[in-house]
Structure 1
Amino acid sequence: MANIQFPQDFVWGTATASYQIEGAYQEDGRGLSIWDTFSHTPGKVFNDDNGDVACDSYHRYEEDVALLKKLGVKAYRFSIAWPRIFPQGTGDVNEKGLEYYRKVVDALLAAGIEPCATLYHWDLPQALQDKGGWDNRETIDAFVNYAEVMFKAFDGKIKQWITFNETWCVSFLSNYIGAHAPGNRDLQLAINVAHHCMVAHGEAVRKFRELGISGEIGTTHNLYWFEPYTTSPQDIEAARRNRAFNNEWFMDPTFKGSYPQFMVDWFKTKGATVPILPGDMETIAQKIDFIGVNYYSGGFGRYKEGEGLFDCEEVQIGFDKTYMDWNVYADGLYKVLSWVHEEYGDTPIYITENGACYEDELTADNRVHDVQRTDYYRKHFIQCHRLIGSGVPLKGYFAWSLLDNFEWAEGYRKRFGIVYTNYETLERHPKISYYFIQDVIGKNGFDV
C-alpha cells in the first residue's frame, strides 16, 4: 500500500453556484436572471424543472456551513447572484442581497472556512439580457460596477475572488449550441460573448488592483483534454481544433494577450471574426494571481469532414462513463494541468471543480452508497498527487459539488453532490463519497 500525502498548505474545498442551490428566486428584492427566464420556458429544461426553490440554501445556509465544517474543508467556493445585488443589473444596490452574503461569509469564517467567491456563475440579470446581454459592451461596465461593490463590501473577509466561471459555457454552450440560457444558436454571437466576458474579466482585475483590495483574484476556465486517435496529420489537427475550442481559445488571451491564430483562421472560414477593439487584448491579459481549472473529462478524436464545427468526430475507446455520459479519464487531468504549466508558466493552479454524476439512491438507512463517485474522486486525487510531485503548482482542489442541486438544462435528474438532497423534504444526507473526502482531508492523504 503506497501512501499518498499532500503538502500541509494544500487547500481542500468544495463548490456550489448560486442559481443551483439558493432558491428564493423572488425574495428580498432579487431580480430575475436569464436562468429564471430560461427555466420557465417550456421545453428548455428537463421535466420543466427550475431553480425557484432548488436546495433552498438561501434559508438553509447555516445547515450547509455545518456540513462543510464537518467535512473539514479549508475553503468553500460559492457564487454571488448578480440579480440579488443589482436586481436590474445596474442602479441601486439591493442591501438585503448584500446582507445575505454577509451572513454566509460570516458563518463560513466563524467555522474556520475561507470563502472563495465567484462573481459570475451564469445568472445574468434578465434586465441586462433585454438590452443585448454579453453581446452589448455596456454589460462590461455593469459587471465592473457590480464587481467593485462586492470587492469593497467584502474586502478583508473574502480573500479569493474568481471573476467568471467557465466562459466557454457562457459563450459557446449558451449562444452557439444553445443548450443553456439564453439559448441562442449563432456562432458570431457566441464569439462576441466570449470576447466581451474576457474583457469584463480583465477590467474587473484592473479595478481590483486599483482599489488595493486584499487577497487574490483569478478566473476559471473549463478545460477538456482531447487527443488525436492516430498520429495522422489530419487527426492531429482535428483533435487540436476540438481541444482549442475549450482550452487555447480562452487560455491564450488570459495569459498571452492573443487568440490562437489557427483558430481565428478556422472561425473565419465559418464567417465569424472576433470583435476586438483597441486595448482589449491588453485588458484581458491583466496579470492574475491564480488560474482556476474545472476538469471533468477528456477523449479522443479523428478527422471527419463535415463533423461538427471542426471536422472532428469523437472516437469511443472504452472509457467508463458517468451518468452524464462523460468519459472517466483521470489521466486527462494530469495531462491537461501539465500542459497548462508547460504552456502558461508558474501561475498557481486550483482545481475549482471536479466531480461526477451518477444515479444515486437513498437507502432505508438514509445512506447513499456512491461507490463509483468515491472511486472517481480517488483516481483524480492520485493524479493531483502526481502533478504536485511533477512540479506543477497545484495549490488546491474543490470537489463539485457539496449538494445535489439544479443541474442546469438537466434539471434535478442529474446528481453531482457528495451530499444527497431530498427534493421533497430538502433534507441533506451525506453520501459515502462525503465520508471518503472527509477522511482524506483529515489525513491530508490516503492509502492506495
Structure 2
Amino acid sequence: MKIKTTLSLIGSLIISNSLLSQNIIKSEEIITSGRIRSHIPYNLVSDKTHKTVINKEGDILSLRATVKYYARSKSVPKNEFSIITKERKNIIALNTSQSLENIIVFRNNNSLKEYDKIYSSKSTNKGITVFRNYMSNSRNYLNEKFYKNNFELNSSGSIDTHQIERYKLGCGLIAIKTRSKFNKKRHLFISKTKDGKLVEIDLSKISSSFNNQNIFNGLLNTTKGVQQISSDWGIKGIFEHNNVITVFLQIKNNLLPVQIDLKTLKQQVIKNSVLSEGEFFNEHRHTTQSSGDVFYMPYSGGFVNIYSDLKPTKANMPYSFDLKLYDEKLKLITQKTLKDFYFIHHVAESSGFLIIGGYTKSKGYLGYPNPIIQIIKKSTMNITQTIVIPQKNGTVDYIGYNKTGQILIDISSPYLGYKKNENTKRVSKIIIDEIKADGTFKNNLFVH
C-alpha cells in the first residue's frame, strides 16, 4: 500500500542517526497537537494510544489516538495513525482504509510471532472487517478479512442463521458470539483471521454450568467465594499459545476461561480459576471502564489478571490492585497486591519480569494523573523498580516489546480537556529501553 508523504500531525521528532543504525530508537517525544483554534467552541476529550509496534528494521507503526471534538452539539470522531520510519526519520501519515469512525483496536499483549503487527476491526450491520497492519522495508501494508453478519451454517441437514452479537479481536484471532435467529440460542465461534474458518465451541456440551441455550447457570469461583450465578456472557479476550486457544468469557464481573486444543480438538471450561474484571472506574468524565483485565505472557505462555475490588471515590490516593499470575493452563502460580497505582492500563512480560504501567495521582503533579511504571520479579514478586514521570494528565497507556528483548513504553495524555481559547499541548512519548538482570531499566530514559 502506498504511503502518503505529507505530514498529518503537527509536531517534531528528533532521532539519532547512530541509534537508528543500531535498530534502537531510545527516546523520542512527539507533539501531536498545536494550538487549539480559539474560534471553534469545542473540547478535546480523549487522546489515547491504541497500539504501537516496532519491526526488526526499526520502523514504528502506531495507532496513537482516537480524538473526539465536541463542537456545540456535534461530535466528530477523528483517528490519528502515524509511522516513524528508519529511512525518513520522521512522522508520515498512514494511508489506510482504517481511518474510519468507531474503529476497535486490539491493545493486549502480542504473541511473539505477531509482535510487529497491529490488529483492529470495524463493525457494521453487514458484518466485521478485521484489519492487519504491519511494516516491511519502511512501507505499510494492510490485509483485511470480512466476517458476514447473519451467516448460515448447516447442522445435521438443517440450516441455521446466526446473527453476530459481540466479538473480541486477538493477534490473528477472533472470538464471535452469535444468537440463532431460530431459537435464540447463543453460540461461541473462534477463527484465525488468515483463513476465516469458523470453529464452534458448544459450551453446553463441555460444561454442565451452561444450559441448552448456552447461558451460564451454575456455581463459579469468584473473588468473593463460590457463588451461584445465572447470567448471559460476553467476551473479554482471546489468545493462543502452542496451538491452544484460550477465550475469556465475561460473566457479570467474573472472567471464565474456555480452552480449545487445535491439535486434539479437546474443549474445556476452567471454572476453578478465580479471575475478575473488578469495579468500574470513571477515568475521565467521558469514559468509564472496568479496573480489571487479563494479559497474555508470551514468554511463559501464562496470563496475568489484574483488578481492583474497591469502589472508586474522588480521592486522589492510590487504589489497591490485586495481581494474579497464572500458567498456560490457568493454574494460579502466585499473587501480589499493588498499592502505588490509581489506575493500571497495561501489563507486559520481559523474560523473568512483569512491567506494569498506568498512572498515579499522589506523586508528580499532585492531584493529576502522572505516568507510573513498576517492574516486578516473577520468581519472588518483589518490586525491583518504580518510576513516576512528572507529566500532568499523562499515563503509561501501552507496553510492548520487540524480538531483541527491548521494552516499548508508550506514554500519552488521554485526560486533557481542551476548552475554547486554551493554548495547551498534549504530549505523547515513545520510549524504548531494556531491563537489566537486576530488574531495572538499562538506560533509565524516563528521567530527563
More helix by share: 1
TM-score, length basis structure 1: 0.31
TM-score, length basis structure 2: 0.31
More strand by share: 2
